[in-house]
Structure 1
Amino acid sequence: MNRQSVLMEALPYIRKFHGKTIVIKLGGHAMVDPKIMNTVIEDAVLLHYVGMRVVLVHGGGPEITQKMQALGKEPKFIGGLRVTDAETLEIAQMVLAGKISSAIVSLIAKNGARGVGVSGNDGGLVIAEKMPLKKIKVGDHEEEVDLGFVGEIREINSKLLETLLDAGYIPVVSPLAIDRKGNDLNINADTMAGEIAVALKAFKLISLTDVDGVMDKDRTKVFHRLTLKNVDALMADGTISGGMIPKLEASMIAVRHGVEGAHIVNGNAEHNLLLELFTDDGVGTMITASMICL
């Protein structure tokens, strides 16, 4: 396809998305590879300048683990979930709201736009409650475990983000929160992105990760279009597992509450974000309430 055709294919999407809110969850290898991150931010800034209201929500699990190890603290995981004690929470705050957020804001400025870093505990943006004891399968049996200072979202006060968007900024949100007593909590970034998309009545939720989308059991085929029913079936038969589950759970919550489409996209390939949004075929997986079946 020549350049003129690419631009003309993008035009109806640019027109349709103008003025709409899009929430992008940054994750995967982009969080530790500066070159990939810069490309992703270039795309986000382009979306901003073609008239979309862009909110970035970032994770940072690998960097938290690296910082913990550098400080002589070994991360603890149970059933694949991080246990967050007081010291781990302090390190997470330092990495998420400090290093990662400021780096993303700097990249936004480098690419010609204005970013503002906020965490969920700024202005009471995200109110959460400490997660209760969680049943986790460990080996061949289930255990009830306390994950520590990990929160479940109870309320999103979106006015702060709306004010920043109205003023022409790109908010960069760290997945932290407070409870109603002012205690700090760590939040799953996929969950945070989905809840923010719902609160802002976003048009799109995009999750950038290290895989090409939702794949079949053999990991040879990408499902480019899925309905909520399709996703339920793929979860039930075990096709969807591991780290893809929280991404799809957040996507399904968003779609059920009015977000038109939730997308799972490989953020490691240059400009995949733009290709997913502005081409007919896309490059990842789009989840909608009801559409094309498997």
Structure 2
Amino acid sequence: MSETTEGQANEGQGWATAKTLAEALPYIQIYDRETVVIKYGGHAMGEEQVAKLFAADVVLLKMLGLHPVVVHGGGPQISAMLERAGVKSTFVDGLRVTDAATMEVAEMVLSGAINKEIANWITQAGAEAEVRGVGLSGKDARLLTVEKVARTKKDPGSQIEKVVDLGYVGEPKHVDTTLLKALIHAEDDYIPVVAPIGVSATGETYNVNADTVAGALAGALGAKRMLLLTDVAGVLDKDGELMRQLTVDEARAAIADGVATGGMIPKLETAIAAVEAGVEAVVILDGRRPHAMLVELFTEHGAGTLICR
């Protein structure tokens, strides 16, 4: 390539970059000083390189004036550790039955290995800008007070509703945002990273569905957006096409009509609950795609399915 051709190529890239920034500016202004809660799913974590790209994008959100709060899952990692320990997992309606031994492993994996690794990736990505990840769980400063989940299930033979004991599985009862707000609004740039572990009023530790935790935190913080990063493009219609936007009523209909199936049902239920709790909108998107969050927040067309009122 000649010097002239190379110079023209570089100039073209410069104009393309400027165009992208100009198009993104209105959206950057919309989200300035707004809180965005990001659920980083176990399946969306993927390989280390993908995770590091995620961390860099979260740091960029902070540098652009947003207040990101990350809530992570870790179901696949918990299952792998339980298998290594010879502990068999059972599930009821997508929730892991959690006895004392399983709870010990879940807390070790979620609050330990995964939580600190994500916080460290964010800190490394933000080193030059002095943006730092802070690893927490719902047990810290009583961030997340929970109560034991109560579930019933019909007996296939008798059709009688029976109580199912899920063990140490909790659901949010109260969110104390004091610590999160202190980190979000501190003079230094901190990004909270929250493991989905909660504590009961009597001090017992519970495993909590990460989507549910993200929704509870987003509602309590009055987040402008909640992003549910998963391993699919979003909600697909019966023809397999991405549904770009749903109202709460349309989301309920998607569940009732069987359009949403499997793991998408609890994600839509979480989105509906979050919107009804005051979150402006929830987006379900593929967290494995590079820069999916940036495309969703700062471009006209977005990157997943947006659920709003």
Q: Structures share a fold, TM > 0.5?
A: yes
Q: Tell me how far 1:28 sits from its aligned partner.
A: 4.3
Give the letter aligned to residue 241 of structure 2.
Answer: K
> CA-to-partner distance for each residue in 1:186-233, whole Å, 9 max, x for gaps?
100000000100111111100000000111124x20011111111111
What count of residue pairs does the alignment treat as equivalent? 288
**Structure 1 segment 14-25 matched on structure 2, within 5 A:** 14-25=28-39
User: Given that residues 89 and 185 in structure 1 are in contact (C-alpha distance below 8 angstroms), is that contact kept between their aligned partners in structure 2?
Assistant: yes
Return the TM-score normalized by structure 1. Answer: 0.93
The match for 1:149 is 168
1:275 to partner: Cα distance: 0.3
1:38 deviates by 1.1
SS in 1 for 2:87: coil
Determine which of 255, 258, 275 is the counterpart of 1:255: 275
Deviations 1:116-171, CA, capped at 9 Å, x for gaps = 11100111111111112432687996653211100021100011100111112100
Q: Does 1:134 align with 2:152?
A: yes
User: Could you say which residue in structure 1 is the equivalent of 2:303?
Assistant: 283
- Partner of residue 12, structure 2: none
Alignment of 1:1-294 (within 5 A): 2-112=16-126, 113-135=131-153, 143-167=162-186, 168-218=189-239, 220-289=240-309
- RMSD of the alignment, in Å? 1.8
Flag the 1:175–1:139 CA change in 2: closer, same or farther, 3 A. Answer: farther
Q: Distance in 1 between matches of 2:43 and 2:244?
A: 22
- How far apart in 2 are the matches of 1:226 and 1:80? 24
2: distance between equivalents of 1:53 and 1:272? Answer: 17
Unaligned runs of 5+ in 2: 1-14
Query: Secondary structure of the residue that 1:114 maps to in structure 2?
Result: strand
| The 10-residue stretch of structure 1 (129-138 or 12-21) with the greater mean CA deviation from structure 2 | 129-138
Query: Cα distance 1:140–1:216, how it changes in 2: closer, same or farther (>3 A)?
Result: farther
- Contact 1:263–1:287 (8 Å) recurs in 2: yes
Greater mean alpha carbon deviation, residues 181-190 or residues 125-134: 125-134
Identity of aligned residues (%): 45
Q: Give the drift of 1:90.
A: 0.3
Structure 1 contact 108–114 (Cα < 8 Å) conserved: yes
AA matched with 2:106: A
Unaligned runs of 5+ in 1: 290-294
Partners of 2:165 and 2:249 lie apart in 1 by 32
2:111 and 2:136 mapped to 1: Cα distance?
7
Indicate conservation of the 8 Å contact 1:78/1:136, yes or no: no
The DSSP-based 3-state class of the residue aligned with 1:169 is: strand
Deviating more after overlay: 112-121 vs 95-104? 112-121
- Kept in 1, the 8 Å contact 2:42–2:77? The answer is no
Measure the CA separation in 2 of the matches of 1:274 and 1:209: 15
Q: Output the CA distance in 1 between the equivalents of 2:303 and 2:19.
A: 17
Give the Å deviation of 1:184.
0.5
Taking the aligned partners of 2:265 and 2:304, their CA distance within structure 1 comes to: 16
Instruction: Give the SS at the match of 1:47.
Output: helix
- CA–CA separation in structure 2 for the residues paired with 1:100 and 1:136: 36
TM-score (norm 2): 0.89
Q: 1:137 to 1:58 in 2, by over 3 A?
A: farther
How far did residue 30 of structure 1 move? 3.1
Q: Deviations over 1:9-46 (max 9, x none)?
A: 11100011010000000014333421211111111110
